[in-house]
Amino acid sequence: MPGTILENLSGRKLSVLVTLLLACQIVCFLVGLIAPSPARTQGMLSTICVDENPENDNINRWFTKKCPKVIVLSNKKSITGLQANNLVFAVQMPLYDLDFSRWQQNLVGILQIDIVYQTEQKIVEPIIELTLDARLAYSDKTPDGGTTPWQYYAHAEEKRYMECTFDNTAVIGEEREGYPYNCTMVPLFELGCLYHDYYLMNLRLPYSESKNTNLGKVEDVYLHTIHMNGGFTKIWVGLKTFFFPLIVGIMVWFWKRVHQLNRTPALLEYVLVSLGGTLAFLNLPIEYLSLTFEMPYMLLLSDIRQGIFYAMLLSFWLIFAGEHMLIQDHGERNTIKMYWKHLSTIVIGCLCLLVFDLCERGIQLVNPFYSIWVTPIGTNLALSFIILAGISASLYFFFLCYMIWRVFKNISVRRSILPSMSQARRLHYEGIIYRFNFLMLATVICAAVTVISFILSQVAEGQNKWDENMEVELTSAIHTGVYGMWNVYICAMLMLYAPSHKQWPNEPICGEGEEVEFSRLPADANASEISSLTTFAAKANIE
């Protein structure tokens, strides 16, 4: 049985392939340049309506921008005689004459509550416990140009914590009246799908012995919404549609090649094909379905898909390193059981994140206002899951680094005996080591680029660019570039590590000064090992 394609490919063919993949990578990046930024915000000022009979429990009573009685909280005259239950903060989304498109995928709502100082009240506590009675309704366009009446979507009474500070040094005494507190934002809701055209939020801040007792003088309530940009979704789904059949095709080709051999597939081949499988699952463009069906679980699903992919990628690296380290006993086939210690870190880490995700986004399917972070127990739970995931991640990286270090040590030890080999054999092994290092390097570069680009995109996002001439959007280019990079990387892995079918004569045919096509040494042929590097290492071991 010959080795993998990587080892038997000529330098020229390899460079052509690498160039092709690089071109594909650059195209992915360029495609991102034409897309707008991944998400946009719209800040909305709430209309403060007066609810004349707050006792009315009818859930389908909605207050819109055009409610009968609107007041301004900063106007002292207009609020006399009102109770907290009378006030309804109404926000209609989106603003202007626009409506949401399903391409905009999901909606996140964040509250900004402006509190001002008033002489009648001492400085409020830094941490304010808010009780929010929030309701959401939806409406759709009708074919004749009108809209359907508001329909109930969700309702919950939730607690949130807000931190408010007041700069005591800036002003003194009575001058403080009307000065603003500096308060943090309050995350309010997350909708997994934007199925309807319009949404309406009605917010109440009830007051009782136990509710909102610390609340100061609220002047304005803003709702900031974040939605995906339709353009970005189109480009993103387009990329997925392109990569999905490609990956599936390469997987089929890979598996066929493996089966053409008269041996059962090796562990690395199983791992490679399942890595391809998870990538195909990640690439599956189910976003198209969300254009016709209401799928509030889209956020959760995409989290899970991403999680499975990362888990598989991390496992692949471990097993890849392990297969080149020879932890197996001579001649025995490697199985997944050999790696249980290493893989358990990944499994634990991913399970933790899955549970955390189910707790947050899973419950949000039922109650979009839910957040695990608001209750102390929830915060502790969420933090412990994340810390546990973090511990397993660092354990994993420890294992990985250790294994890679051993592989390199192994290689360098064997390299020292290279000069004593015949020239053909030496060239052969040197080439393999070179290409193994090359792929290791590619992996490290991919990982580094991912981390650096996400840090960069966060820095770039923090500064708002208002330059009119700047039509290109770097953040989305970074996202599509990184996404394309992992696709290209796995394509390359599947292609280069597929078994080669080249049949070589018994005598090495190394031409002098020409391109060297590395040949397998017939003596090393061993059906249980897939790459001659492992063979080489094993052989040296026995010696």
Site for another protein in 441-500 (CB under 8 A): 450-451, 454, 457-458, 461-468, 479
Of 36 and 431, nearer to another protein (C-beta) is: 36
Of 471 and 543, nearer to another protein (C-beta) is: 471
| Minimal distance, residue 320 CB to another protein, in Å | 18
263: phi then psi, degrees, rounded to nearest 5:
-155, 160
What number of chain residues touch another protein (CB under 8 A)?
Answer: 93
Instruction: Map residue 159 onto helix, strand or coil.
Output: strand
Binding string, residues 280-299; x marks residues near another protein by CB under 8 A? --------------------
- Class of residue 245 by CB neighbours under 10 A (exposed 0-12, middle 13-18, buried 19+): exposed
Token pair 């026995």 in the structure block, residue: 542
Cα–Cα dist 80/27, whole Å: 63
Retrieve residue 56's tokens: 């009315």
List binders of another protein among 111-130 (CB under 8 A): 112, 114, 116, 118-121
Residues near 174 by beta carbon (within 8 Å), at least 6 away in sequence: 119
Of 84 and 442, nearer to another protein (C-beta) is: 84
184 binds another protein (CB under 8 A): yes
* Member of 17, 27, 45, 286 binding another protein (CB under 8 A): 45
List binders of another protein among 215-254 (CB under 8 A): 215-218, 222, 224, 226-227, 229-231, 234
List binders of another protein among 189-218 (CB under 8 A): 190, 205, 207, 212-213, 215-218
* Member of 15, 22, 43, 148 binding another protein (CB under 8 A): 43
307 binds another protein (CB under 8 A): yes
Retrieve residue 423's tokens: 């020239």
Cα–Cα dist 509/512, whole Å: 9
95 binds another protein (CB under 8 A): yes
| Minimal distance, residue 170 CB to another protein, in Å | 7
Output b/e per residue, 446-467; b: 16+ Cβ within 10 A.
beeebeebeeebeeeeeeeeee
Binding string, residues 48-77; x marks residues near another protein by CB under 8 A? -----------------x-------x----
* Member of 30, 33, 61, 180 binding another protein (CB under 8 A): 180
* Member of 386, 401, 448, 509 binding another protein (CB under 8 A): 386
Of 65 and 539, nearer to another protein (C-beta) is: 65
* Member of 27, 110, 351, 418 binding another protein (CB under 8 A): 110
Cα–Cα dist 160/149, whole Å: 30
36 binds another protein (CB under 8 A): yes
Segment (H or E) for 225: strand 217-228
Residues near 517 by beta carbon (within 8 Å), at least 6 away in sequence: 8, 10, 509, 510
| Minimal distance, residue 89 CB to another protein, in Å | 11
What does DSSP assign to residue 197?
A: S
Residue type, position 104, single letter: Q
The total of other beta-carbon atoms located within 10 Å of residue 483's CB is 19
The total of other beta-carbon atoms located within 10 Å of residue 75's CB is 9
